[in-house]
């Protein structure tokens, strides 16, 4: 029956993380998977989250099913976080993290727009294509990262989007583009949204790092600008990184559609959830809801987010300075120009393999470096390792 199963080529990010964990070298450094680690190299428990937990949020009581669409107070809090004050004509459902939001969104769209193709930036997160192809989409790409300049390819993206059929779905990263760390400027976003509006395209934003680039409100600018312009769109939110709740799988999918009957829209989202995992898990979302809804914890969380962002920025600056000293003839400006957890290094497959085998420094095969894995204790070693593989 199962004697001809195809082999699974392990996921390039999660598989690498398993290899890293199995590496016995005590001084190994994980710059692969997107996990924020603090100065001590640990995944932090945010004080705001700890305070909410100690006050009883997410505590074990009788374990009952949440509604299919998730907890109402959580959905309300997420709506405010993502869209700020402008929250009309938006339906939010709680999902199993950002990946669950993408999957529910993909299934929902396949049901209501069965012939639409999805267009993704080149490159994009390794799992995007799998999720949408798995939901039956034809997956295409549009130019995003210009290798020659290391910058956003606005002309290429606009030219590609201009050719798309009305109703095509366009995947966008509103901030901290994964894997490149290269984000459009506000002027560039305006140009992209102009084409999207003119061509009647449907943006699907994947927002896993709201607050990691410039701030909670600044990073949601493109999403909110869509709403301000009356453009229908979807937003997948993940709270794994920004609340440091990786294992809890907390996320949400928001759909902005002013022309849709909101009750029917919610109904179609519930249908997609019910036949996938029925209803979401309770505890992580209860923690996020408590933090967002309590003024003191909310302020504390925003300060913790600011501190995470500042630490990643400091690591970028530090590595940039050290590499500049070690290899003055090479340009590492990309480190300080890019935003968020990731930097696209341009390292070759051979250099990445040497980093791992010779130095125990783990970097994703695309050349993506997670700067959130750097700290004052490992940055000099990482710099030496990079200088070794880049200098030869």
Q: How many other C-beta atoms are found inside a 10 Å radius of the C-beta of residue 215?
A: 16
Q: Is 125 a catalytic residue?
A: yes
- Report the residue number, 133 or 166, with the smaller CB distance to ligand LMR: 133
- DSSP code, position 250: E
Catalytic option among 107, 183, 206, 219: 206
Interface with ligand LMR includes 292 (CB under 6 A)?
Answer: no
> Residue holding tokens 């962002």?
309
Distance of alpha carbon 64 from alpha carbon 103, whole angstroms: 24
- Report the residue number, 300 or 366, with the smaller CB distance to ligand LMR: 366
- Report the residue number, 123 or 280, with the smaller CB distance to ligand LMR: 123
- Report the residue number, 98 or 201, with the smaller CB distance to ligand LMR: 98
Q: Is 241 a catalytic residue?
A: yes
Which of 16, 29, 31, 33 forms a contact with ligand LMR (CB under 6 A)?
33
Interface with ligand LMR includes 189 (CB under 6 A)?
Answer: no
E strand or H helix that includes residue 338? none
Catalytic option among 103, 107, 125, 183: 125
Measured from the CB of residue 161, what is the shortest distance to ligand LMR in angstroms?
A: 24
What separation, in Å, do the N-terminal and C-terminal C-alpha atoms of the chain show? 51
Interface with ligand LMR includes 339 (CB under 6 A)?
Answer: no
Tell how strand 202-207 and strand 368-370 pair up. Answer: unpaired
Q: 3-state SS of 63-114?
A: CCCCCCCCCHHHHHHHHHHHHCCCCCCEEEEEEEHHHHHHHHHHHHHHHHCC
Distance of alpha carbon 369 from alpha carbon 379, whole angstroms: 13
- Report the residue number, 71 or 219, with the smaller CB distance to ligand LMR: 219
Which of 34, 105, 123, 373 forms a contact with ligand LMR (CB under 6 A)?
34
Q: Which of residues 168-187 bind ligand LMR (CB under 6 A)?
A: 178
Check residue 70 and give left, alpha or beta (phi > 0: left; psi -120 to 50: alpha).
Answer: left
What is the contact mask toward ligand LMR in residues 94 to 133, using x (rule: CB under 6 A)? -------------------------------x-x------
Here the tokens at position 349 are 């497959």
Q: How many other C-beta atoms are found inside a 10 Å radius of the C-beta of residue 203?
A: 22
Measured from the CB of residue 125, what is the shortest distance to ligand LMR in angstroms?
A: 6
Residues that bind ligand LMR (CB under 6 A): 13, 33-34, 125, 127, 178
| Catalytic residue annotation | 125, 206, 241
């Amino acid at each position: 029956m199962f004697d001809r199963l195809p082999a699974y080529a392990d996921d390039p990010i999660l598989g690498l993380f398993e290899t890293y964990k199995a590496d016995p070298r005590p001084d190994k450094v994980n710059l692969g998977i997107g996990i924020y680690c603090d100065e001590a190299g640990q995944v932090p428990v945010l004080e705001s989250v700890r305070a909410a937990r100690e006050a009883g949020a997410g505590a074990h009581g009788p374990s009952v099913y949440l509604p299919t669409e998730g907890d109402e107070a959580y959905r309300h809090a997420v709506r405010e976080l993502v869209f700020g004050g402008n929250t009309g004509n938006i339906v939010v459902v709680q999902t199993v993290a950002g990946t669950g939001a993408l999957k529910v969104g993909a299934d929902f769209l396949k049901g209501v727009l069965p012939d639409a193709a999805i267009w993704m930036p080149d490159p994009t997160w390794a799992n995007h294509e799998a999720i949408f192809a798995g939901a039956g989409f034809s997956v295409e790409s549009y130019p995003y990262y210009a290798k020659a300049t290391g910058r956003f390819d606005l002309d290429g993206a606009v030219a590609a989007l201009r050719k798309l059929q009305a109703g095509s779905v366009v995947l966008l990263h509103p901030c901290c583009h994964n894997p490149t760390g290269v984000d459009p400027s506000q002027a560039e976003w305006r140009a992209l949204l102009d084409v999207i509006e003119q061509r009647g395209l449907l943006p699907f934003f994947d927002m896993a790092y709201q607050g990691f680039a410039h701030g909670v409100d600044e990073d949601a600018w493109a999403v909110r600008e869509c709403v301000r312009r009356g453009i229908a769109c979807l937003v997948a939110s993940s709270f794994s990184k920004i609340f440091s709740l990786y294992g809890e799988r907390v996320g949400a999918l928001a759909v902005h559609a002013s022309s849709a009957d909101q009750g029917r829209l919610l109904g179609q989202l519930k249908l997609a959830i019910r036949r996938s995992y029925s209803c979401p898990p309770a505890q992580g979302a209860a923690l996020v809801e408590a933090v967002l809804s309590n003024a003191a914890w909310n302020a504390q969380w925003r300060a913790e987010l600011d501190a995470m962002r500042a630490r990643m920025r400091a690591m970028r600056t530090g590595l940039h300075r050290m590499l500049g000293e070690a290899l003055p003839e090479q340009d590492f400006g990309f480190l300080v120009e890019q935003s968020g957890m990731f930097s696209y290094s341009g390292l070759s497959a051979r250099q990445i393999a040497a980093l791992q085998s010779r130095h125990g420094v783990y970097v994703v095969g695309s050349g993506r470096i997670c700067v959130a894995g750097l700290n004052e204790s490992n940055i000099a070693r990482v710099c030496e390792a990079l200088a070794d593989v880049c200098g030869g």
